[in-house]
Amino acid sequence: MNTLKVSVIVPVYNVEKYLKQCLDSIINQTMRDIEIICINDGSTDGSLSVLEYYALKDNRIKIIDKKNGGLSSARNSGLRKAEGEYISFVDSDDWIDGNFLETLYDAAVSNDADISRAPYKECFSDKQVDGYIVKLFALRHSKKDTLGVNEHSIIVWNSLYRHSFLKSVFIGGDCFDENILGAEDIPFTVRTSFSAKKIVPTVETYYYYRKNVQNQLSIFSVKRSENIVLANKSVVNFLNSIEVKNTKDYLEAFKRVIWRYDDTFRRIRKMEDFSAFLKESYINCFIAEFHKCKYMDEFLRNYYEDYFKFLVNKDVKGYMLESASEKYIVTTDKLGNLSGFPIMETYMNIPKVSVIIPVYNVEKYLKQCLDSITNQTLRDIEIICIDDSSTDNSLNILYDFAKKDERVKILRQQNFGAAAARNAGLEAAAGEYVSFIDSDDWADVNFLDVLYNEAKTKDADIARTLYKYHYGTTVKESGINKMLVNRYKAGKFLGINEHSITIWNAVYKLSFLKEKKINYFDASLKQGHDIPFTARVTFSAGKIVPCKGTYYHHRENVDKQLSAFSVRRAKNLKRANRLVIAFLNSSSIGSEMAYIEAFKRVMWRYDNILQKMRQLKGVKKSLLKVFVKHFIEDFHKCKYMDEFLKTYKEDYFKFLINKDIKGYINFCNRKKLRRFIKKVFSVESKDSHKTFRILGIKAKFKYK
């Protein structure tokens, strides 16, 4: 009777430096009923000696010593000897958690699954990062869902495969095509994924994939591209030979093939040994495979890329010229205007939401942000990232995500700021709705789903939801959340002024923004640009709906170039206030009370700016006077002054009414003194007692 639960197959080629860590992680697995088949594929270093040493220590290790034939040949050799109920593939320069095999085996057996998959980490010399598929696994696992046929990375080593299942899929033949070197995982993964009756995710263990290891196949080359062509052809032949249950699964898998063809060509087109003849031959092969799509009309309706027109028309020269430009990069001017980027009319499948993310020097936080967006439960989205001339590693992170997820598009601009970046995103956007995400923030995985469905159901121009502030390890609910929840429970829409001056906790109907010609109309504002934008959208919207059940997470106290209050920031905020007043006075939208409430917010911001300016070191009195002068000028622009003064009362209003600059400044100085005195000495009266505060010490005296 076979008692082996898992056969672990480990191909080995010149990895002496890393092999011990790999083998230690396998022999120390919590699951003991395993065999470890190590295939020495003609190593010329000390790898075989390491294997022999470990085989003496652990009789579960079996060594196959063979001539060098490549990874596929080595794995096939191991499979022929395997006797386990399930099969695991571990690369010899990687390692696994101690519970890796037990977790995957238990998940597979308890769910009667043909395949179980684990999350993985990409391990660099100085850090470890989650593989891009990890959050999807966590989401599926939390809902006790199985994985779809295309919900995987093109890798074999993070999974466990039922041995009898592999024998049924690859009847009478080897699992890996030995003619394919360096892309062997592609046809194997597609074939097994489409053939499996059930694929289950796990979350309690990790595979550790070592990056930046210089092995025989790690460097991209023309030879490697030839193997990717062979792998792609194998996938297309397989897809066209089976009857798929869901056409969308076929289309998604076929799209991945086309993306690999295009990505490979753009990588190798500048290589010296990639001659004009080879280029033309490659493109002819690409076009021939493209035209093998079984559902071409539906494919073209669901997916769009600029270069598709050349493939459709079998235009080799046209594709070659188009590929000479960068695939993802589009440049913008300082106002965020684009040229040459596909706008709404060119999309064959309109996304539900266009997510716009300005990016500037946020390498520390960007991956968390993009992970939260690429793993949204709402899949029909596009993700437009605008790099604002980052000087850190942000752009490379964007490239990595764009390669993995076709929904990610990258625009680049000179350092014009977030407002210009958002304008560029708006011009490029093709979705029904638009969402703005800051690149150092993140959102719950159902964020877009909740907002889009609520907006769509109510036919709203704007949908807003809850958000939290994150100050390091401290988390604070926004003050606006309670009001949003109350409005939601009451089934009411939001009023014009029922919002924070934030744009990122909402979605906006794109047709509404275009009809009202709303964008960041003063893109030169480096800060405060959300203020006039929010005023315009809220006063112009037909319906604004509240949502609950999801959160936006805003990171505070991040070291941004403009996060600290400064004279420059004060000038930008003053300009933003003036833009709001100009809009309010030129618009007939909204009631008189809505105008008065919005105007009060402008006055409050002016006063707040001046209070903060007074605390800055080195601020000249002459500059303060200029700010107060402008404050007074804008105060007197109120369209409904009498009603405003009846509705709102502040002590400093009398100085604004009388245009008393000196009086306002002296009032502010006295207010500062009063705050200080209150901290030093204060008296608080209650029905039963009085509380005295003297130099920070409290004393309570009860009444007799």
Cβ atoms within 10 Å, residue 629: 13
CB atoms within 10 A of CB 474: 9
What percent of the chain clears pLDDT 70, i.e. is strictly above it?
Answer: 87
Instruction: In whole angstroms, give the CA distance from residue 391 to residue 377.
Output: 32
What's the confidence (pLDDT) of residue 692? 64
3-state SS class at 341: coil
327 falls in which pLDDT band (50, 70, 90)? very low
How many residues are listed for the chain in this entry? 704
Question: Residue 229: how many CB atoms within 10 A of its CB?
Answer: 21
Range with lowest mean pLDDT among 128-137, 234-243, 288-297, 435-444 = 128-137
**Banded pLDDT at 461 (limits 50, 70, 90):** very high
- Residue 343: pLDDT band with limits 50, 70, 90: very low
If 0-12 CB within 10 Å is exposed, 13-18 middle and 19+ buried, where does residue 27 land? middle
> Please, which pLDDT band fits residue 224 given cuts at 50, 70 and 90?
confident
% of the chain residues with pLDDT over 90: 55
Residue 152, C-beta contacts closer than 8 angstroms, at least 6 positions apart:
117, 133, 189, 193, 199
- Flag whether pLDDT at 1 surpasses 50: no
Cβ atoms of residues 356 and 422 within 8 Å = yes
pLDDT of 339 strictly over 80:
no
CA distance 625 to 622: 5
**Confidence at residue 63, expressed as pLDDT on a 0 to 100 scale:** 97
Give the pLDDT of residue 605.
87
Q: Radius of gyration over alpha carbons of the chain, in Å?
A: 31
What is the token pair recorded at 149?
A: 């046929």
Which of 1-5, 88-92, 505-509, 684-688 shows the lowest mean pLDDT across its residues? 684-688
Residue 263: partners with Cβ closer than 8 Å, 6 or more residues away: 327, 403
Q: How far apart are CA 552 and CA 550, in angstroms?
A: 7
The pLDDT, as a whole number, for residue 693 is: 66
Instruction: Tell me which residue of 389, 451, 382 sits closest to 418, measured CA to CA.
Output: 389
Lowest average pLDDT, out of 126-135, 335-344, 361-370, goes to: 335-344
- Which pLDDT belongs to residue 345? 31
Strand 474-477 with 408-413, pairing: unpaired
Do 55 and 11 form a contact (C-beta atoms < 8 A)? Answer: no
Are 500 and 539 in contact, with CB atoms under 8 Å apart? no
pLDDT of 634 over the 70 cut: yes
> What are the structure tokens assigned to 123, written together?
């391990």
Mean pLDDT, the chain, whole residue set: 86
Q: In which band, very low, low, confident or very high, does the pLDDT at 212 lie, cut at 50, 70 and 90?
A: low
Q: Residue 677: what residue type?
A: I
Kindly report the three-state secondary structure assignment for every residue of 452-518: HHHHHHHCCCEEEEEEEEEECCEEEECCCHHHHHHHHHHCCCCCCCCCCCCCCCEEEEHHHHHHCCC
Helix (H) or strand (E) holding 577, with range, is: helix 567-586
Report the candidate in 188, 154, 162 with the shortest Cα–Cα distance to residue 75.
Answer: 188
The 8-class DSSP code of residue 663 comes to: H
On whether the CB atoms of residues 386 and 415 are closer than 8 A, the answer is no
- Are the C-beta atoms of residues 202 and 107 closer than 8 Å to each other? yes
Burial class from Cβ neighbours inside 10 Å (0-12, 13-18, 19+) for residue 331 reads middle
411 is written with which tokens?
């625009």
The residue-averaged pLDDT of 6-31 equals 96
What's the pLDDT score for residue 525? 67
220, pLDDT greater than 80: no
- Summarised one tens digit per residue, pLDDT across range 276-303 is 888 889 999 999 999 999 999 999 988 8
Q: Which of 532, 536, 534 is nearest to 516 (CA)?
A: 536
pLDDT tier for residue 560 given thresholds of 50, 70 and 90: very low
Q: pLDDT tier at 586 (50, 70, 90 boundaries)?
A: confident
- 128-150: average pLDDT: 87
Q: What is the C-alpha separation between 672 and 618, in angstroms, rounded?
A: 18
pLDDT above 80: residue 348: no
Nearest C-alpha neighbor of 498 from the set 461, 545, 556: 545
Lowest mean pLDDT among 158-167, 323-332, 442-451: 323-332
* Per-residue confidence band for 347, with pLDDT thresholds at 50, 70 and 90: very low
* CA–CA distances in Å: residue 373 to residues 54, 353, 461, 530, 700: 45, 11, 22, 21, 53
- The token duo for 665 is 């400044």
**Most confidently modeled of 456-460, 601-605, 607-611?**
456-460
pLDDT digits (tens, 9 = 90+) for 648-691: 988 889 999 999 998 888 888 765 545 544 555 556 666 666 67
pLDDT of residue 166: 96
User: Above 50 in pLDDT, residue 342?
Assistant: no
pLDDT band at 557 (very low <50, low <70, confident <90, very high): low
Confirm if 603 and 649 have CB atoms less than 8 A apart.
no
Q: Is the pLDDT of residue 46 over 50?
A: yes
Q: First and final CA of the chain: distance in angstroms?
A: 91
Q: Is the pLDDT of residue 185 over 50?
A: yes
408 by DSSP, 3-state: which?
A: strand
Cα pseudo-dihedral 262, 263, 269, 272, rounded to 10: -140
Res 334: pLDDT: 47
Q: What is the pLDDT of residues 365-417, one digit of tens each?
A: 999 999 999 999 999 999 999 998 889 999 889 988 988 888 999 888 877 88
pLDDT for residue 393: 92
State the pLDDT confidence band at 70, using cuts at 50, 70 and 90: very high
Q: What pLDDT was estimated at residue 200?
A: 97
Q: What are phi and psi of 37, to 5 degrees?
A: -100, 110
Query: Which tens digits make up the pLDDT trace of 226-275?
Result: 889 999 999 999 999 999 889 999 999 999 999 899 888 887 776 777 78
Which 8-state DSSP code applies to residue 338? B
> How far apart are alpha carbons 630 and 609 in whole angstroms?
12
What's residue 216's pLDDT?
39
The pLDDT confidence band at residue 703, using thresholds 50, 70 and 90, is: low
